[in-house]
Chain A
Amino acid sequence: MRLLSHIIYWFASAKTAVILLSVILIVCIIGVFLPEGIQPKLYYSVWFILLILSLAINLIFCSIRRIILKSKNIASLLTHLSVILILLGALISYVWAIRGVLELEEGQTKDRILRGCSFYRLGFKVRLDDFSIAWYEQRPQLFELDIRIKDISLRKRLKLKENQQITIDNTNYKIQIIDYLPDFARSEQGEVFSRSDMPRNPAVRIRITTDQFTEERWLFSNHPMMTKAKDENIKIRFSWMPTVKEFRSSLSILDEKGNIIAQGLTKVNAPFSYKGYNFYQSGYDLDNPYYSSLEVVRDPGVKFVFGGFILLNIGLFILFYPKMGLPNLKFFQR
């Protein structure tokens, strides 16, 4: 009995809280410097979970003590209870959350997701009706060319518009951009064309003119080594990284017989929800414009965690900013 009361007393003390928090802190510091693959083993190991559990017990005992002692500091109690709620939510997520990957091509229907190494049945079918990627720009406004001329050891970066001709300083080299293809490809007959409007393989055709000769060559931003050059003295690189603006999937939910029961759109930061399952747009494949990868999650712990977050923030602002919404600094006024 005495031992039990000792344990309860130990768990209900602020000193214990500080010790537990410090230990968790040290473990996290060690964890950050561990190789990426090993980190999850640390954070999901039994003893780390036991450590968090001890903190939860500590929080519960401290809160009970406050209630018994009829502490008037409601805000402080609220913050501690909210952390318990967050930890409870995390536990629910750990035990009951379902998450997996769903890879679809346009028109394809699937009824299961890849969860770890096995498949998990959703209980309904998901069809990808449409997938699209949008870029900020289909073509650069200014073409950036990095130029290196070997014999005079010259390095220069040029920025030029299409068809604009520029003479490189102190040389007789003239550079002009004569064509641009966002998605360069070559047919079997050797003709060049653009497979699509998407800047998946941006290429520019440039004309190099000197007093002696004229040369034209293709430059590829994704494949700088692919360029065939006649004049080895001048090396030119075209660099451009188009930024993806948005990618989205239109989904249909089908029942066993294939009837549509729900439809929706998912994009980054705006998941589509159906029966507690959230479909997050997670990836695309530049080589296959019809492919979409989705993260499918059903996590009953989220509500608790978010509720805890909201209460924690309210509690802290009430606790720390008691007057006029700001801390009490009376002692500082002279």
Chain B
Amino acid sequence: MSNILLVIALVTCLISLCLFIFGNTQKAGRREKIGIIFYKASICALTLLIVLRWLKAERLPFANMYEALVLYAWAIGCVYLVFEYLYKAVLLAPFAALIDTFLLVVLLFQDATIKPLMPALQSKWMAIHVTTYFIGYAAITLAFMLSVSYLMLSRKKKTSLLFLNTLDNLSYQLIIFAFPFLTLGMTTGSMWANFAWGSYWFWDPKETCSLITWLVYLVYLHGRLLLGWQRNIANWLSTLGFVATLFTFIGVNYILPGLHSYA
């Protein structure tokens, strides 16, 4: 069942992505509206996938790479829905569909077997630590995509200033949205570590990397709010922050040993 849902999510996401690609990027037309409907269908399939897995595993399905990637794809959808509902930020839809398509393709090759939880992971802290982190990660992923688009388009003379400003500001708002979630994820992780292992900070590679990510966005926010950083420097920092996030999320598991080597 979960495989069928995964394929449904991928196909609907791919259709929406195609509709966006062949549509007009700067103005929402009919194709984009249908694209958004397909993208929402994809999010629904992912939601169902998570719920079914939750029921089957009898625990929150956030424990290994497969489950983390499903959650990541789902969180990107959720962040998109929040921004669409409140601010009509439909501009985000193609970016969200692109990254979700990529994630869903990767998921097809991941091991989907449900494995029991090791003792350290059996905790109520997991729910809040993991979900808040992934909401944060999802928002900064979208912010990164907008920042890269900004950096690429700003070199072309044809691009309208209004569109560039929109990319820059929306990326900024996504980071503002993400930052409290990143902080909540990091601090709850730290509190959990104290309950499980007796220290709130070990300077473990995963912890240090999450601190690095947090510091990049902290510098970004201070620079932007107090020193008036905008445009190139801000968007380069946003890109750097995403690289740090990617390294924290995936790089550490495969390259550096440590407490988080299981997830």
On A, residues with C-beta under 8 Å from B are 14-15, 17-18, 21-22, 24-25, 28-29, 31-32, 36, 39-40, 43, 90, 99, 136, 243-247, 267-271, 278, 280, 282, 295, 297, 299, 302, 305-306, 309, 312-313, 316-317, 320-321, 324, 326-327, 329, 331-334
Distance of A331 Cα from B87 Cα, bound (Å): 9
The contact sample of 16 A-B pairs, CB cut-off 8 A, is A17-B222, A22-B219, A31-B208, A39-B203, A243-B116, A245-B119, A268-B122, A270-B195, A271-B195, A305-B200, A316-B180, A320-B180, A326-B177, A329-B89, A329-B173, A333-B88
Q: Is the CB of B87 within 8 A of A329?
A: yes
Chain B residue nearest to A22 (CB atoms) is B219
Q: Is the CB of A18 within 8 A of B222?
A: yes
Residues of chain A with a CB closer than 8 A to B180's CB: 313, 316-317, 320-321
Residues of chain B with a CB closer than 8 A to A22's CB: 219
A246 CB to closest chain B CB, in angstroms? 6
Q: Is the CB of B256 within 8 A of A268?
A: no
Which one, A32, A271, A299, contacts B209 given CB within 8 A?
Answer: A32
Distance of A224 Cα from B231 Cα, bound (Å): 60
Distance of A208 Cα from B199 Cα, bound (Å): 52
Q: Is the CB of B119 within 8 A of A21?
A: no
Binds A, one of B5-13, B67-75, B183-191: B183-191
Q: Is the CB of A32 within 8 A of B176?
A: no
Chain B residue nearest to A308 (CB atoms) is B187
Residues of chain A with a CB closer than 8 A to B125's CB: 269
Q: Is the CB of B187 within 8 A of A309?
A: yes
A54 CB to closest chain B CB, in angstroms? 15
Q: Is the CB of A32 within 8 A of B187?
A: no
Residues of chain B with a CB closer than 8 A to A24's CB: 215
Distance of A329 Cα from B83 Cα, bound (Å): 9
| Chain A to chain B: the 4 pairs with minimum beta-carbon distance, closest first | A14-B226, A268-B119, A309-B187, A280-B198
Among A14, A39, A245, A316, find the residue whose CB has the most chain B CB atoms closer than 10 A. A316
Interface contacts beyond A18-B219, A329-B83: sample of 18 additional A-B pairs, CB < 8 Å, sorted by A? A15-B227, A28-B215, A29-B212, A246-B122, A269-B192, A271-B195, A280-B198, A299-B198, A306-B191, A309-B187, A312-B183, A321-B180, A327-B176, A332-B87, A332-B88, A332-B89, A332-B166, A332-B173
If the complex has contacts A18-B227, A320-B176, A320-B177, are A280 and B197 also in contact, measured as CB distance less than 8 A? yes
Residues of chain B with a CB closer than 8 A to A25's CB: 212, 215-216, 219
A293 CB to closest chain B CB, in angstroms? 12
Distance of A329 Cα from B208 Cα, bound (Å): 32
Among A270, A306, A324, A332, find the residue whose CB has the most chain B CB atoms closer than 10 A. A332
Chain A residue nearest to B120 (CB atoms) is A268
If the complex has contacts A32-B205, A268-B196, A332-B87, are A316 and B179 also in contact, measured as CB distance less than 8 A? yes
Q: Is the CB of A243 within 8 A of B173?
A: no
Distance of A36 Cα from B211 Cα, bound (Å): 17
Residues of chain B with a CB closer than 8 A to A245's CB: 116, 119
If the complex has contacts A32-B205, A268-B122, are A21 and B212 also in contact, measured as CB distance less than 8 A? no
B110 on the A face (CB < 8 A): no
Distance of A282 Cα from B191 Cα, bound (Å): 17
Residues of chain A with a CB closer than 8 A to B82's CB: 326
Which one, A17, A243, A334, contacts B88 given CB within 8 A?
Answer: A334
Write out, one digit per residue, whether chain B residues 23-35 have a CB within 8 A of any chain A CB (1) or not (0): 0000000000000
Distance of A332 Cα from B205 Cα, bound (Å): 38
Chain B residue nearest to A318 (CB atoms) is B180
Residues of chain A with a CB closer than 8 A to B170's CB: 332
Which one, B183, B199, B219, contacts A99 given CB within 8 A?
Answer: B199
If the complex has contacts A31-B208, A316-B183, A326-B86, are A297 and B223 also in contact, measured as CB distance less than 8 A? no
Residues of chain B with a CB closer than 8 A to A18's CB: 219, 222-223, 226-227
Which one, B120, B198, B211, contacts A295 given CB within 8 A?
Answer: B198
Distance of A269 Cα from B83 Cα, bound (Å): 36
Chain A residue nearest to B166 (CB atoms) is A332
Distance of A331 Cα from B168 Cα, bound (Å): 12
Residues of chain B with a CB closer than 8 A to A43's CB: 203
B154 on the A face (CB < 8 A): no
Q: Is the CB of A278 within 8 A of B120?
A: no
Q: Is the CB of A28 within 8 A of B211?
A: yes
